[in-house]
Structure 1
Amino acid sequence: MPTPQTAIVTLLETSDLHGHIYPTDYRDTYDKPIGLAKLSAIIRKERSIDPSLLLIDNGDLLQGTPFMYRYAKYGAGGIHPAAEALNALRYDAAVIGNHEFNYGLDLLNQTVRQSACPWLSANVVNERDGQPAFGQPYRVFTLPAGIRIAVLGLTTHYIPNWEAPDHIRGLAFEDALSSAARWARHIRENERPDALVVCYHGGFERDPATGEPTEPLTGENQGCEMCLRIGGMDVLFTGHQHRLLAGEINGVAIAQPGFAGQAIAKVQLTFERTADGSWSLREKKASLLLTADAEEQADEQLLIRFAEHERQTQQWLDQPIGSVDGDLAIVEPFAARQADHPFTEFVNRVQMETTGAAISCAAIFTDEARGFGKEITMRDVTANYIYPNTLKVVRLTGRDIREALEQSASYFDRDERTGEIRVADAYLLPKPRHFDYDMWEGIDYALDISQPVGQRVVKLHWNDAPIDPEAFFEVAMNSYRAGGGGNFNMIQGRPVVREFPTDMTEILADYIMERGTIRSECNHNWIVY
């Protein structure tokens, strides 16, 4: 029989699943085109075509749904659902994402131990010796045709700006770009693979088509620079930004499959035999397989596997925990971001009462947030407060507060045609960042969006007088913002005077249950115009 002269290798990537196994977002019980169970049907179909394909998860698997939250907080026994899902679907590798650290290293290490596939991250290292903290920076796979594919894992190194210090104690985060360059060179020289695939839990700092910057060059995302500067890289799988991307940059096939299981990235590599019998990569093709376009139904076996976890989660979500006197519903999130609203005032008041701080800031995280109806359930709490943030009290000067308000004010822009206030493009692309706009309680302020960015705070009072820029104030905020997350550099590094390790979701739920009935209040202390 003649030796085949061509071979096609299929690579599949999931990323930013954020705990979505079932096809639901948990805001209601309706079936949606998301989740690993629906992706599983696509994976099964692709395996029927190419049984030796490589399947990789690119990070942010452990956090993001009440399903995972409940397991982390109340059901940490037996195998972690994330590890069980990786094993059931026969993943070949997984990459550490930034949200893998949200519930602490014990839970993360448990998941890594229980997974049949390796978890890769070359640039998350131990402080004591500089070695990769999760064992393997990369893995080389030899496929049936003898083709060798090297898969290198990388994680955005910006994590210390967001994560609770206790959750990353003993770890160091090397620059992802320089680490990628070093390890890519090592792999090429020592492993000599037929193709090098980099799986980076990070995204693109520039528009892949035009090269124009799309966000502040903080180092959080370095995908374009990797494509331009790292020699010998054939494929770059990305994530973190929740974008739907497939294409090529500088000869490197790139892909990013959105979030929550809305798509899976597919890259096909075509190899040809050379005269000496080795393989040479001739063609790369990147595409996205959208869950919404798939004809297959959700994987029934996977749904059955997690049915008891899901039943307990739904039961937990539907339990009433309190009621509302008045109105705490968010009818239109954008309108609620332009003037003081009872729901954001409620969140800020909880933060202030919990911490003892006289000032607080909080965000409406997504446009899906709807506040509370007359009866409050755990589903309402988790649907509105979707991140496992803790609380910190940070000491800021009056000048810091003004600069933080100016940063938040950059969330807004004016439509050139109508003059109406709208969300600035930088907060919508490459992904929505509504969580990076804060609303404050304990101070009185006004933002004039007709003014240039950086000059929009036209009123800022404390105790009915202009705030003293040199005076110190204690401000309650979530742990993400306290670390400077969202380009709040004026907050990063400021003294943390108190910390509260309980998740904000639990703080809100406990506050409601202790009181039974929550009264809607709004003092209208701020406005945007």
Structure 2
Amino acid sequence: MDEITLTILETSDVHGNVFPINYGTNQHADVGLAKISTLIKQEKAKNEATLVLDNGDVIQGTPFTYHYARMNNNQENPMTLAMNQIGYEASVFGNHEFNYGRDLLDRTVQASQFPWLAANIVDDTTGEPFYGQPYIIKTFPSGLKVAVLGLTTQYIPNWEQQDHIQGMEFKDVVVTAKTWVPYIKEQETPDVMIISYHGGFERDLDTGEATEKLTGENQGYQLCQEVEGIDILLTGHQHRLIADQTINGVTVLQPGNNGIVLGKVIVDLAHDGDKWKIVDTQSQLLSTGGVNPDQTILETVTSYEQATQAWLDQPIGTIKGDMVVHDPLAIRLQDNPLIEFINQVQMDVAGVNISHTALFNNDSPGFPSHVTMRDVVSNYIYPNTLQVIRISGQDIKDALEQSATYFKQYNGSDIEINERFTTPKPQHYNYDMWEGIDYTIDIRRPEGERITQLDYQGAPVQMNETYDVVMNNYRAGGGGDYLMYKDKPVIKDIQTDMSELIANYILRHKEIEATVDGNWKVIY
């Protein structure tokens, strides 16, 4: 045989989607591993030399996985069951793999019929890979030898609860790749060298211009430029749709999120002596739109889905007034009953009188008059817990200025959102709205000078005084570039998921009145 074609199939950021459903509306959606499985079967039927990889963030993200993790986890993880049946060769750890704690993650890894890879997650004592396997080698009957090195964004300690990553050190992915790629090429002599990296691109793919602060969260562009010997870079984390693209001769791919597409790389090789040599590579995205879900996958996890749906339909209370999201932008321009309610829950649980939260995305529906668990998890979509941290008045001012960058400077016509919060993926969750302080944001002014009023209990906030503020654990760790919060004293750590806290609050009060005190506004 003188020529061969290798097919590499990638999923990333599946985020707990198996069934083709939107859990907020219970309507059909072109998402999930069941549809992906159909596409994978079709591709395997075309080419025996096929490699199926997941790039991380697979076990968290829907009510389906939340219900399993919090109420049904004495059974095997349903995502593992589906992935085992599909026949994944390996998966990389994503940042959200750690959200439910080490016990659940360790059991998930043990039940997987494929290895989980992360060369840069090491034991903080020995320096050895924490989960044992940094890479895999796949040899096909033709003798074709493929290496896959797994890497995970090193920024995880800035988001994750520390007890979930105890004993781990997250090394720089570029430094790690510079060590492992030459080692693999020398020791294993693969014909194709793949890096599967749960991270994205920090620069424009065409111009190389920086598109975000170079924090180390996304280093895909740097990997392509600085690490010799990479043939293909599979990426994720940013939820982008990237195909038909190369950087410095490296073919790159990123298949969105939720299983809306399957990423595919076609590698044509020719035999050259005793080695296979790459002749050409192409990358593309295969849509799940109109694809029939694989019924065998659905049947495998049907009992989990039925339990989830019963839980989601539980009535928990009523809303008196209007807490429905009619216009996401309007909610971010002035105090709103929905945001005030979530802040009220946080302050009640934490026992403090200053709080902030966000409207996480533009699909948040708000609360109807009769509330079920489905409504709660549709609005609070992350498994965040709460922390009370002690910060200065200056920290509050700096945090508000950071939030105020959500808006472009007002041009006299339309209110526009800063691209940093929409591109390459929506980050509306990084715009916070506060309760317990009174403030005004003037978006006619330049960034850094927009907070024109900042009061606490009827008097100006003192820059050198300290204040106890409750917020989610992601923000308390500095997530979203709120670096003013990093390493501040933690006064209280509340280890219960916010969605559970909201549900318990509604169950306790039975009827919630939609109120708004107008403590903040945006002017223009």
Do they superpose with TM above 0.5?
yes
Assess if the C-alpha contact under 8 Å between 2:410 and 2:443 holds in 1: no
Match of 2:467 in 1: 473
TM-score (norm 1): 0.97
Q: Does 1:180 align with 2:177?
A: yes
Which of the numbers 343, 349, 353 marks the counterpart of 1:354? Answer: 349
Match of 1:53 in 2: 50
Counterpart amino acid of residue 384 in structure 1: N
Alignment of 1:24-39 (within 5 A): 24-39=21-36
Distance 1:211 1:450 in 2: 31
Distance 1:97 1:19 in 2: 12
Distance 2:59 2:81 in 1: 12
Assess if the C-alpha contact under 8 Å between 1:248 and 1:254 holds in 2: yes
Q: Does 1:124 align with 2:121?
A: yes
Match of 1:11 in 2: 8
Assess if the C-alpha contact under 8 Å between 1:361 and 1:439 holds in 2: yes
Q: Can you list the C-alpha shifts for 1:274-293, whole angstroms capped at 9, x where unaligned?
A: 1x23211111111111112x
Q: Using the TM superposition, give the Cα deviation of residue 156 of structure 1 relative to its aligned residue in structure 2, in angstroms.
A: 0.3
Counterpart amino acid of residue 434 in structure 2: W
SS of the residue corresponding to residue 160 of structure 1 reads helix
Match of 2:263 in 1: 265
Match of 2:324 in 1: 329
Match of 2:482 in 1: 488
Which of the numbers 490, 496, 500 marks the counterpart of 2:494? Answer: 500
Q: Using the TM superposition, give the Cα deviation of residue 123 of structure 1 relative to its aligned residue in structure 2, in angstroms.
A: 0.6
Match of 1:255 in 2: 253
Match of 1:342 in 2: 337
Q: Using the TM superposition, give the Cα deviation of residue 419 of structure 1 relative to its aligned residue in structure 2, in angstroms.
A: 2.6
Match of 1:166 in 2: 163
Assess if the C-alpha contact under 8 Å between 1:414 and 1:420 holds in 2: no
SS of the residue corresponding to residue 422 of structure 1 reads coil
| Unpaired stretches in structure 2, ≥5 consecutive residues | none
Distance 1:78 1:72 in 2: 10
SS of the residue corresponding to residue 21 of structure 1 reads coil
Distance 2:197 2:229 in 1: 16
Q: Can you list the C-alpha shifts for 1:28-79, whole angstroms capped at 9, x where unaligned?
A: 1211111111111111110110133000000001100000000001101232
User: What count of residue pairs does the alignment treat as equivalent?
Assistant: 522
SS of the residue corresponding to residue 62 of structure 1 reads coil
Assess if the C-alpha contact under 8 Å between 2:81 and 2:300 holds in 1: no
Please identify runs of 4+ aligned residues in structure 1 that moved more than 2 A: none
Distance 2:158 2:37 in 1: 34
Distance 1:421 1:395 in 2: 34
Q: Using the TM superposition, give the Cα deviation of residue 414 of structure 1 relative to its aligned residue in structure 2, in angstroms.
A: 4.3
SS of the residue corresponding to residue 347 of structure 1 reads helix
Match of 2:193 in 1: 196
Distance 1:508 1:125 in 2: 36
Match of 2:97 in 1: 100
Q: Can you list the C-alpha shifts for 1:425-480, whole angstroms capped at 9, x where unaligned?
A: 11110000000000000000000111111111111011111110000000000000
Q: Does 1:406 align with 2:404?
A: no
Assess if the C-alpha contact under 8 Å between 2:410 and 2:444 holds in 1: no
SS of the residue corresponding to residue 483 of structure 2 reads coil
Q: Using the TM superposition, give the Cα deviation of residue 214 of structure 1 relative to its aligned residue in structure 2, in angstroms.
A: 1.3
Q: Can you list the C-alpha shifts for 1:226-263, whole angstroms capped at 9, x where unaligned?
A: 00001000000000000000111111010000000011
Deviates more, 1:72-81 or 1:315-324: 72-81
Q: Does 1:286 align with 2:283?
A: yes
Alignment of 1:198-277 (within 5 A): 198-246=195-243, 247-274=245-272, 276-277=273-274
Counterpart amino acid of residue 237 in structure 1: L
Assess if the C-alpha contact under 8 Å between 1:122 and 1:153 holds in 2: yes
Deviates more, 1:440-449 or 1:457-466: 457-466
SS of the residue corresponding to residue 226 of structure 1 reads helix
Assess if the C-alpha contact under 8 Å between 1:390 and 1:479 holds in 2: yes
Counterpart amino acid of residue 138 in structure 1: Y
Which of the numbers 375, 398, 409 marks the counterpart of 2:370? Answer: 375
SS of the residue corresponding to residue 416 of structure 2 reads strand
Which of the numbers 443, 450, 461 marks the counterpart of 1:449? Answer: 443
| Unpaired stretches in structure 1, ≥5 consecutive residues | none
Distance 2:502 2:121 in 1: 33
Counterpart amino acid of residue 258 in structure 1: G
Distance 1:370 1:89 in 2: 34
Counterpart amino acid of residue 257 in structure 1: P
Q: Once superposed, what is the RMSD of the aligned Cα atoms?
A: 0.9
Q: Does 1:308 align with 2:308?
A: no
Counterpart amino acid of residue 356 in structure 2: C
SS of the residue corresponding to residue 59 of structure 1 reads coil
Distance 2:350 2:291 in 1: 50
SS of the residue corresponding to residue 449 of structure 2 reads coil
Distance 2:213 2:58 in 1: 26
SS of the residue corresponding to residue 396 of structure 1 reads strand
Assess if the C-alpha contact under 8 Å between 2:321 and 2:513 holds in 1: yes
Assess if the C-alpha contact under 8 Å between 2:82 and 2:301 holds in 1: no
Q: Using the TM superposition, give the Cα deviation of residue 415 of structure 1 relative to its aligned residue in structure 2, in angstroms.
A: 6.3
Distance 2:451 2:481 in 1: 18
SS of the residue corresponding to residue 413 of structure 1 reads coil
Distance 1:281 1:52 in 2: 14
Deviates more, 1:430-439 or 1:44-53: 44-53
Q: Does 1:440 align with 2:451?
A: no
Distance 2:13 2:462 in 1: 43
Q: Using the TM superposition, give the Cα deviation of residue 423 of structure 1 relative to its aligned residue in structure 2, in angstroms.
A: 1.0
Distance 1:477 1:147 in 2: 52
Distance 2:75 2:396 in 1: 46
Distance 1:52 1:301 in 2: 23
Distance 1:277 1:485 in 2: 50
Counterpart amino acid of residue 410 in structure 1: T
SS of the residue corresponding to residue 13 of structure 1 reads strand
SS of the residue corresponding to residue 65 of structure 2 reads helix
SS of the residue corresponding to residue 507 of structure 2 reads helix
